[in-house]
Chains A and B, each alone.
Chain A
Amino acid sequence: MNNDTLIPLIGVVTDIRQDTPDVKTFRVNALEGGKVFEHMPGQCAMLSIPGVGEGMFSITSSPTNKEFMEFSIKKCGCLTTWLHAMDVGQQITIRGPYGNYFPVDTELKGKDLLFIAGGIGLAPLRSVINYVRDKRDDYGDVQIVYGSRSKDDLVDYKEIIDEWTADPNIEVDLTIDNPQEGWDGHVGFVPNYVKELNPSTNKTVLVCGPPIMIKFTLAGLKELGFTETQVYTTMELRMKCGVGKCGRCNIGDKYVCKDGPVFRFDQLDALPDEY
């Protein structure tokens, strides 16, 4: 019988990084080394610990990374608590990749890009950011606006500081919600910061974060003159199968697992407000 996508593969956790007090980044390899499968930026995978549960997670690493996949996961429910308790060497089950991806080869190509992320919302965008950095000539200006509750809650802070801010070809604007000792950067919510930064309206925007942040960011972008056809986001709803059959992650006639998770805001506008 042919492989069935519901029967998972095995992955090994080869590295665990504590990113923030409640976010860890897990590096996953195939049993024989290398990646379990290839993916595109924005796609997701179903991870599970048998007996605990299965959940859909954004693949945080870039497809240009040929050695491993990474997942930045926030401790939130039963499965993620278990994942956070893992040690290096632990095997997990993995299946995917699922869903569509940011149109890095088509609509985004040659464009000036503005990434806007809040909290754990950086996870799916990190894949695109590193993809773009590795294929830098294919894209125009790159600006990243990233905010979190505090300095400690900035996911991948080390990579941001060591690599992104050090990269002369990209602009990184960080912000935290409240003043904090040892932080001399910007303080304030992401949507307001975006407005202050007043980015050029010829940029294509990729935004991800808590629903409330996305809502205000989009409103702010519209005030600045952006249109909904310029803004992409990625969605998360409860999923079980990952392939548009189990019937629960739909927004209107679209399944987030199959037709998403990446949507352009004009596409979301044509769908019911049920997410």
Chain B
Amino acid sequence: MLKISASNLNALFDRIAEKQTLYIPVDREPNVSEYKKYESGMTMSKALNTVRSAKDFFFPQTENLAEFKVSGKTIEVKDIRKENEDFVVFGVRACDARSFGILDKVFLSEPVDSFYKNRREHGTIVTMACTRPAETCFCTTFGIDPTVPGGDVSVFFDGENYFFLDNTPKGEAFVASVSDMLEDGDASKLAEVQENTRNIMKKLPLSGLSTDSFGGERLMEHFNSDKWAELSESCFGCGTCTFVCPTCQCYDIRDFDTGNGIKRFRCWDSCMYSDFTKMAHGNSRNSQLERFRQRFMHKLVYFPANNNGEFGCVGCGRCLSKCPISMNIVKVMKALEDK
């Protein structure tokens, strides 16, 4: 397998960044990482994952859709779309890599969302196998193997070298473009590293969590569960879980008067917000219980009902770490699952 030594990783980054924009996870504070546009000298974070998910690359928090020029009774629509430039995201974990597949099912199904597709087509995902999962990890619940992270190129670290395995034509092109910096290496240690990580996964506190009790066929039963009141009682309706979630994709469309025309943009929205379903004459989800229920029903029941049983969660654990009141999908699943 092609490899590069850890000491040469930054030289590789410099090379990639010569041709296209490169994003890598960088520590903002010790072990608190975020994706940053690579500039020479930056060090890739050793933290397990970024605070925000990688969905931002394809579904940014705000994105302009169109511009309007209004004068008198006439309106002019301006299509502001431009072909995106190629970019590389390096160091995506298996959970986030899976999340792109989930977002694809929403945005690439008919009618295709051209804004998302544009970014998706121009982005190369280079993933990184996990070796030190956290207690909040439960990707295996959704059939994800964090030691085989996927994306366009999978990268594996054996403690000394990074090994590259391309998974797609885009990945193949990427590896080819830097192949002169890579050398053939002995990947025999990798299997051991992977086996070790898989064993750790089995020992994690959430390793036993199962999706068996969920899916589209349990819709009415879970919707009508009497557990929601207790689960949602302390939820104060912020959007933290939604916004750190790699698969949450609900959005709002709003207009902004720039003073020189109207900018129509979309932005992340959260079903946890009180105005999410509010209309001029009423609201279909008036209580926080209903809004809370919607978020989890969507991931565990509605999404699989519409997508051949695939769940809308990848077990990244971000909501477990970030919910201000520590209420999260794991607690919901444990409360609702068959005893």
Contact = CB atoms under 8 A, between A and B. Distances in A.
Direct contact of A and B (CB under 8 A): yes
Interface of A: 1-2, 4-10, 50-54, 76-78, 80, 87, 89-93, 236-238, 240-241, 243, 245-253, 270-272, 274-275
Contact of A78 (B68, B262, B280, B306): B280
A51 B219 contact: no
A76 B301 CA distance: 34
A93 B279 contact: no
A270 B217 CA distance: 11
B302 A250 contact: yes
By CB atoms of chain A within 10 A, which of B250, B284, B294 has the most?
A: B284
A144 to B, nearest CB: 25
B280 A245 contact: no
Contacts of A76: 280-281
Given A238-B277, A247-B249, A272-B220, A8 B302 contact: no
A247 B298 contact: yes
A40 B106 CA distance: 25
Interface in B97-115: 106-107, 111-115
B251 A272 contact: no
Contacts of B302: 250, 252-253
Nearest to B114: A4
B185 to A, nearest CB: 41
Nearest to B282: A211
B42 to A, nearest CB: 33
Interface string B259-295: 0001010100101000011111101110000100010
A73 to B, nearest CB: 11
B253 interface: yes
Given A54-B253, A77-B281, A246-B251, A93 B75 contact: yes
Given A1-B81, A4-B114, 5 more contacts: A6-B66, A77-B281, A240-B269, A247-B269, A252-B302
Nearest to A4: B114
B19 interface: no
Contacts of B271: 247-248
A245 B281 contact: no
Given A4-B115, A248-B271, A248-B276, A51 B79 contact: no
Contacts of A243: 111
Given A51-B70, A51-B262, A2 B112 contact: yes
By CB atoms of chain B within 10 A, which of A77, A91, A271 has the most?
A: A91
